[in-house]
């Protein structure tokens, strides 16, 4: 089969982790007889430098015409002083909105091989950890009305959090469908004791739950949820939440797995189309040092094979190759950091990690 993939290397470590991921995808193509065609496009800071805007129209067009999008990371110090609507991050938000990617899946999986990298006590995560944050991605405060106005306390700025029943329903359905294939538990996270938008969220999720009698639904306030993720993360199966709460909770959950450098994500539209990217950012301090962990992006490519292309065996092959490299005690610096017995491990760079994973397919 032939697959057309729009590739957005982006900024900072983006191009490096994408380079290793394409190496791994090419190996998959070779082994399983698929042809992956890549069209590289500009988005983020590099697009600002070359085209004068973070998300050129041409980029959106090519992404829309592709079967899937693979993205590294965008942003960096260089563009940090630009006005809000011209920052590299606008590329990401624009892609999410214009491609209709309303459902963001962020699995937090603690690999057995990395159990020692988890900062929690061993008994808290014994038997492994496997939860997924389903984050609403095209609504809420990220896309609500925003602006500045004068008040009697001086200039004020505001960003509006708003959710419709339709938006809540479709993201809740994604979460419940996912729970049906997993451990049949959904935890909906909101701030319904304070926010009107959260009260509508809670009511709507509760209504959706009626269509899924086999799934247990629980509601948590976001402040409590963050505490529970650290206290007892194994209680969770699927967490469904708003754009901003999902942003915060998924970073929290990532630390429990040892390193954000291990976490992939999928952003899905209706149908099979999706954009795949690591949860981590562009880490400008690591750019060009061969120190970045490419595994989050490589695992994102595995999600692309699974969710958009339906290539389950190929997706498993990538995940197993990552596990094998970890079992062989290879560690990029981010996962070496928490290693209990570093002397037994071998530190590797970005390129060697990509080579080893490809070699294990």
Q: Which residues of this protein are in contact with Mn ion, per CB under 5 A?
A: 247
**Whose Cβ is closer to Mn ion: residue 24's or residue 90's?**
90
- Secondary structure element (H or E) that encloses residue 57, with its range: helix 57-65
**Mask of contacts with ligand IPM, 194-233, x by CB under 6 A?**
----------------------------------------
Binders of ligand IPM among residues 132 to 191 (CB under 6 A) are: none
**Lookup result for tokens 């992956």:** 36
Q: Where are the beta strands (DSSP E) in the chain?
A: 2-10, 35-40, 68-73, 103-110, 129-136, 146-151, 154-159, 185-190, 216-221, 238-241, 264-268, 274-278, 330-331, 346-347
Choice among 112, 159, 223, 285 that is catalytic: 223
> Which of ligand IPM, Mn ion, none does 76 bind, CB closer than 5 to 8 A by kind?
none
The DSSP symbol for 235 reads G
Say if strands 216-221 and 129-136 run parallel, antiparallel, or are unpaired.
unpaired
89 touches ligand IPM (CB under 6 A): yes
Which position among 11, 67, 191, 291 bears the catalytic label? 191
Give yes or no: 142 in active site. yes
Asked whether the beta carbons of 246 and 229 are under 8 A apart, the reply is no
Q: Is 348 helix (H, G, I), strand (E, B) or coil?
A: coil
Residue (of 7, 46, 86, 75) closest to 281 by Cα position: 75
Q: Which of the residues 258 through 297 are near ligand IPM (CB under 6 A)?
A: 281
Q: Site for ligand IPM (CB under 6 A): which residue of 11, 113, 161, 247?
A: 247
Name the residue with the smallest CB distance to ligand IPM.
Answer: 89
Catalytic entry in 3, 142, 276, 307: 142
Compare residues 10 and 56 and give the one whose CB is closer to ligand IPM.
Answer: 10
CA distances from 157 to 142, 151, 160 (A): 14, 10, 10
Shortest Cβ 35–Mn ion spacing (Å): 33
Inter-residue long-range contacts of 35-39, CB under 8 Å, 24+ positions, other chains counted: 35/1, 35/2, 35/3, 36/3, 36/5, 37/2, 37/3, 37/4, 37/5, 38/5, 38/6, 38/7, 39/4, 39/5, 39/6, 39/7, 39/66
247 counts as catalytic: yes
Task: Please identify which of the residues 67, 190, 247, 334 carries the catalytic annotation.
Answer: 247
Catalytic residue check, 316: no
Between 204 and 265, name the residue whose CB sits nearer to ligand IPM: 265
Q: Quote the least distance from Cβ 105 to ligand IPM, whole Å.
A: 12
**26, 130, 177, 251: the active-site residue:** 251
Q: Of 225 and 321, which has the nearer Cβ to ligand IPM?
A: 225
State the residues that interact with ligand IPM by CB under 6 A: 75, 89, 92, 247, 281
- Give the catalytic positions in this structure: 142, 191, 223, 247, 251
């Amino acid at each position: 089969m032939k697959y057309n993939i729009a590739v957005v290397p982006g900024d900072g470590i983006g191009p490096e982790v994408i380079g290793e991921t394409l190496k791994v995808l090419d190996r998959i193509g070779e082994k399983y007889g698929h042809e992956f065609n890549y069209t590289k496009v500009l988005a983020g800071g590099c697009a600002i430098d070359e085209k004068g805007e973070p998300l050129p129209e041409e980029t959106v067009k090519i992404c829309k015409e592709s079967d899937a999008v693979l993205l590294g990371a965008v942003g960096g110090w260089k563009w940090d002083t630009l006005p809000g609507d011209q920052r590299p991050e606008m590329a990401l938000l624009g892609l999410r909105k214009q491609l209709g990617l309303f459902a963001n899946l962020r699995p937090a999986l603690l690999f057995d091989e990395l159990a020692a990298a988890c900062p929690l006590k061993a008994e808290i995560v014994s038997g492994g950890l496997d939860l997924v944050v389903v984050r609403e991605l095209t609504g809420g405060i990220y896309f609500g009305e925003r602006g500045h106005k004068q008040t009697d306390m001086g200039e004020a700025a505001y960003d509006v959090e708003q959710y419709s029943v339709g938006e809540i329903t479709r993201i809740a359905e994604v979460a419940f469908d996912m729970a049906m294939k997993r451990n049949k538990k959904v935890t909906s996270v909101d701030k319904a004791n304070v926010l009107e938008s959260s009260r509508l969220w809670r009511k709507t999720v509760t209504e959706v739950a009626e269509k899924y009698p086999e799934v247990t639904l629980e509601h948590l306030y976001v402040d409590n949820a963050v505490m529970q993720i650290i206290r007892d993360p194994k209680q969770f199966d699927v967490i469904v939440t708003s754009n901003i709460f999902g942003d915060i909770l998924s970073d929290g959950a990532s630390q429990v797995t040892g390193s954000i450098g291990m976490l992939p994500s999928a952003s899905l539209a209706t149908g099979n189309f999706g954009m795949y990217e690591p949860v981590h950012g562009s880490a400008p301090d690591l750019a060009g040092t061969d120190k970045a962990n490419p595994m989050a992006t490589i695992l994102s490519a595995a999600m692309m094979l699974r969710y958009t292309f339906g290539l389950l065996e190929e997706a498993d092959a990538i995940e197993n190759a990552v596990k094998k490299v970890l079992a062989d005690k290879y560690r990029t610096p981010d996962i070496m950091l928490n290693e209990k017995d570093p002397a037994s491990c071998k530190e590797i760079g970005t390129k060697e990690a990509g080579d080893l994973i490809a070699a294990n397919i």
